[in-house]
């Protein structure tokens, strides 16, 4: 065997470059204090909604006996006095912080410490760096979300005696994958800022500012924009319906709104189109009011929220593609 053949054989046996970077970054993430602190914060944050959901299930236990999808109620029930105290709402609100925390300094910290030129000088392709960092961050986030989901599921099984059916397990798995994709958007967005900005503090401030804007103020922006662009100045039902339709369209520009709509339908088999969409006409509104509530299969639920899921995936792909292209065009060896 010649020397060139031996080198090629070793290269074929060597792991892909992005896997090397991902393994190193994943090890750094799970052994960092950041990982522990974020996990503890999320665990403490889900305790109140879990407590209220468990209390509601106990109170309704006589009526809920034998009812379908009782196990999923752990993730969707809330306090009657504080509706926001729901597990899925808390996840939609706080889970983006995981993506931001593991992405805002993914690249610029390497540049600041002077390790980026040495990293790309290794026998790996340049794009392996950005691919490996994204894969490591997403894997770490999936690990944390999986642990929290199993914690809630285990609480329901061992403390409340609620055994999930196979359909509920599948629904929960689909919702888990949806949540990973949703947080993946924020991870890709934070990495885009990390590539574009040289200071980690600047990328962190912008990322947290955008998160805060979408979570707190976007609903107000949607309401004001709909009031200005399609004012319901009279008692006309058509104008009121048009105002609601425009407000919903603007609110769906936020990934948080898309996630909450998809999450509601996936975790609640009773929720249908009327729970996430404003009717297109008065006739459709009357028909929706006359419909009898029924359980939807997983296929039917996915058909209802398929547009939201596709848009979330597209937003994640666009954000990561932008960071990828920008990183590949930057000069990192200087």
pLDDT for the residue 285: 54
C-alpha 302 chain-centroid distance: 17
Within a domain: 127: yes
Q: What tokens does 116 get?
A: 């980026």
What integer pLDDT is reported at residue 79 of this predicted model? 57
The whole-number pLDDT of residue 226 equals 83
Domain count, the chain: 1
User: With a cut of 50, which residues of the chain have pLDDT below it?
Assistant: 1, 6-7, 9-11, 13-14, 62, 64-65
Do 138 and 18 form a contact (C-beta atoms < 8 A)?
no
Specify if 3 maps to a domain. Answer: no
C-alpha 141/C-alpha 168 separation (Å) is 23
CA pair distance 317, 323, nearest whole angstrom: 10
Token code pair at residue 126: 């340049």
Residue 295 lies in a domain: yes
Give 276-319 as a 3 state SS string. Answer: HCCCCCHHHHHHHHHCCCCCCCHHHHHHHHHHHHHHHHHHHHHH
In a domain, 214, yes or no: yes
Q: Domain for residue 47, yes or no?
A: yes
- CA 272/CA 40 separation, integer angstroms: 34
Q: Which residue reads 């979300």 in tokens?
A: 145
Question: What does the pLDDT read at residue 211?
Answer: 94
The predicted model scores a pTM of: 0.86
193 near 207, Cβ under 8 Å?
yes
DSSP secondary-structure letter at 191?
H
Tell me, what's the pLDDT at 288?
A: 53
> Which residue range forms the structural domain that includes residue 103?
8-329
How far apart CA 143 and CA 52 sit, in angstroms, is: 25
């Amino acid at each position: 065997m010649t020397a060139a053949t031996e080198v090629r054989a070793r290269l074929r046996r060597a792991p892909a470059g992005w896997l090397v970077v991902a393994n190193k970054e994943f090890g750094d993430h799970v052994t960092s204090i950041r990982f522990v602190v974020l996990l503890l914060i999320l665990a403490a944050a889900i305790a109140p909604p879990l407590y209220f959901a468990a209390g509601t299930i106990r109170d309704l236990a006589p009526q809920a006996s034998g009812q379908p999808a009782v196990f999923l109620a752990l993730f969707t029930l809330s306090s009657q006095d504080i509706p926001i105290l729901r597990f899925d709402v808390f996840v939609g609100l706080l889970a983006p912080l995981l993506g931001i925390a593991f992405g805002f300094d993914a690249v610029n910290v390497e540049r600041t410490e002077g390790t980026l030129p040495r990293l790309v000088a290794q026998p790996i392709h340049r794009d392996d760096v950005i691919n490996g960092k994204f894969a490591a961050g997403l894997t770490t986030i999936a690990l944390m979300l999986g642990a929290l989901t199993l914690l809630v599921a285990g609480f329901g099984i061992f403390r409340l005696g609620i055994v999930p059916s196979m359909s509920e397990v599948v629904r929960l798995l689909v919702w888990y994958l949806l949540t990973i994709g949703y947080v993946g958007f924020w991870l890709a967005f934070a990495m885009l800022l990390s590539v574009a900005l040289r200071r980690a503090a600047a990328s962190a401030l912008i990322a947290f500012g955008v998160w805060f804007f979408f979570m707190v103020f976007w609903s107000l922006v949607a309401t004001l924009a709909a009031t200005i662009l399609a004012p319901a100045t009279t008692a006309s039902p058509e104008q009121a319906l048009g105002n609601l339709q425009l407000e919903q369209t603007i609110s769906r520009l936020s990934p948080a709104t898309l996630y909450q709509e998809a999450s509601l339908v996936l975790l609640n088999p009773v929720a249908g189109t009327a729970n996430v969409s404003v009717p297109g006409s008065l006739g459709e509104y009357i028909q929706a009011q006359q419909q009898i509530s029924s359980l939807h299969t997983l296929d039917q639920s996915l058909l209802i929220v398929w547009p939201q899921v596709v848009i979330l995936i597209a937003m994640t792909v666009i954000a990561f593609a932008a960071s990828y292209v920008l990183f590949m065009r930057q000069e990192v060896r200087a």
